[in-house]
Structure 1
Amino acid sequence: MRILHTSDWHIGRSFHGHSTLEALRGVLEALAVQVREHAVDVVVVAGDVFDSAAPSAACFPLLSDTLRALRDTGAHVVVTSGNHDSAARLGFQSALLRDGVHVLTDPTSVGTPITIDDESGPVHFYGIPFLEPALVRHLWPGVELRTQAETIAHAMSLVREDLASRGGRSVAISHCFAAGVEATRGVEREIRQGTLDVVPLAYFDGPDYVALGHIHGRQRLSERVRYAGAPLHYSFGEGDKPRGSWLVELDSSGLASVEWLPLPVPRRLVTLTASFDELLTDERFDEFGDAWVCARYTDPTPQLDPMRRLQERFAHCAAVVHLPGAAASADRSSYAGRVRAARSDAELFDAFLAHVREGEGASAREGELIREIVGDRIAAEARA
């Protein structure tokens, strides 16, 4: 059996104020083509189908069209909900979906698989929707569920218990933060509190393959436990991470192979760091004219209207960051030290400017203006 593991579609997420719906549509269409070309039997979507618990009306047609395209290839589709999804909204029409599309959002269904047969017999797909301990602990009285780690541990115990009675091969699907994973800073919206909600890898023992969601970059925690990541870049922090999905093959005895299938990137993401003038004129940046650009300029002082000016060169400049370089100085005294050493109001101004500009004080013209303003103030106070 061939299984395609994908996750974290985040339908409806914006990118620095820009809609991603059409870009995501193109990527998901490419994914459906891969499903047909590789004769995939089952597509697994491991949570965060939508980006919001209340997605806009424009998001639903994209989901419907994608599920239809995947099913038209002949593949079954198994979808679980993630922490961004509203389980109710994602699952409300599950009973109306066409045969072969399974949307698993009900916590009470944990431990009851979707079973799909191939020539070697049954394969059991155990979907574990995102489980918030405070919201599901009443479903299992007598079981201590204070953290998500404890909740996943209980869910997997139900999976193993059912699997022991059924036998055969199996796949578990979960949306969580597993131990050993490397998150992208500022990308994954944390579902942890300290280290309490990190799920130990050993909790996923049992199934032949574990398809995880929540982390936006592909990661291999073990040969049989993996994250596929998001199919589209949603942050400059993800720019160097490949987009795609895992093609998993089960033979008659279990996991046989896992292969990475890359997806197209509609528009590359780059972070450029240089002086403002270099960003505007240096020919080494010519190749990025059509990329999404995060521009970090290193001038000591902020520039006037930097976004508009940069977009004249980079039409898709989406973020501008002022990143002044540290001034080279043999004696970088602290701000408090500069203030104590100041002998006049003008020197206080200069100390402040040197502090906020990473070492560069007032220019000659600024010094003239400061002395003029301070002088006028002193004169006004003298006349009062």
Structure 2
Amino acid sequence: MTLSGITSGTVKPGEPPAEVDVSLCNDSPVDYPKVGVVLVLDHCSCATNPLGLPSGTVERFDPATGSWMKLERPVITTGMDYLGTFSNVQELPKGKAATLRYRMALSASMTGGKGGLQATAVTPNPLVQIGKADLPFTVSTESTTPSNGPRPGGQQTVLPFTGLTYPRNLAVDSTGDVYVADSWSNRVLKFAAGSSQPTLLPFTGLNKPGGVAVDSAGDVLVADAANNRVLKLPAESNQPTVLPFTGLDNPRQVAVDSAGDVYVTDGKARVVKLAGGSAYQTVLPFAGLTWAGGLAVDGAGDVFVSDPSNHRVVELPAGSSEQTVLSVDGKDGSIVADPAGNLYVADSESKQVLKLPAGSSDASPLRSPVSMDPTPWRWMAPEMSTSSTATALAGS
């Protein structure tokens, strides 16, 4: 399991809650009929309590009601009794993955120092710990509110999407329009370049949409995860069509190359390709994948997929049936391939982005702000079983 979020690594007491994700992946040989999760604030040096117990709140998002539910015991006490406070009980069959959404806030009484969240996965009967993850952070009492003065080049801005519940994936087309799959609201939104507000695209009947991509013609593709299908909305059309994929199991990420070929990852740890204009799919010959995570295709048609459970990224060169394991660690994050063949890996565990230059065997971390080639990008944030990072497909 992994615990990700708080990208700045800093939390200020008294500020609004910070969202985090707990990702579970069952790569064991057995099914788990029931798995619960405990998310708590750990002992910290920032607490005024003499026992080091922090003061704050931890909440979980309930997709059934679309609301946040406060957890009764947000901090670790003594012994192992806190494991009995698990929530989000669900099935987790072998080979399956899920992501649970939480948020936390520290009380204004906390001081500066070090803190952390701890997530534990348990089986209820008997109560057995089967996984654990930690997310350390720094507690700062200094203001984190940005000034109203000019922003230095490369600084981020917040786009005016409102009411998002779980923005799971996004894409950008060649004109700068931004598309977001809001998974738990079962919708896809478009924010046109130069606009002041997003519009709702006419996809109907979506159930937990995952990956989203845009091809060179402006057609929008969406992996409709819980309906086991991929939809395509042609540019200037109000009528999406179902692409002729068959046998998909929880399609997660979707990518499209310059020829219009569509690629999808699914819960069977595979990458499925549907050639442009074809009615017949093919399963690409990736071998030994435990969990198909991030997905990308470069300008040459080489396909890349991250395999987080095996800590690797695998490449299938265009026209080849032999995969290559790249010398970059495929942690629980997403991947990007640019037109020049450079590969970028978002590593949520180490909180950095790695770059593997084309033809090189040495990956190195990028410094912020990141500068990429001035080409159109198709961004796709990760599926619910991944962290909230992004993958991208370069335009032609």
The alignment's TM-score, normalised by the length of structure 1, stands at 0.25
Question: TM-score, normalising length from structure 2?
Answer: 0.25
Q: Which of the pair is proportionally richer in strand?
A: 2
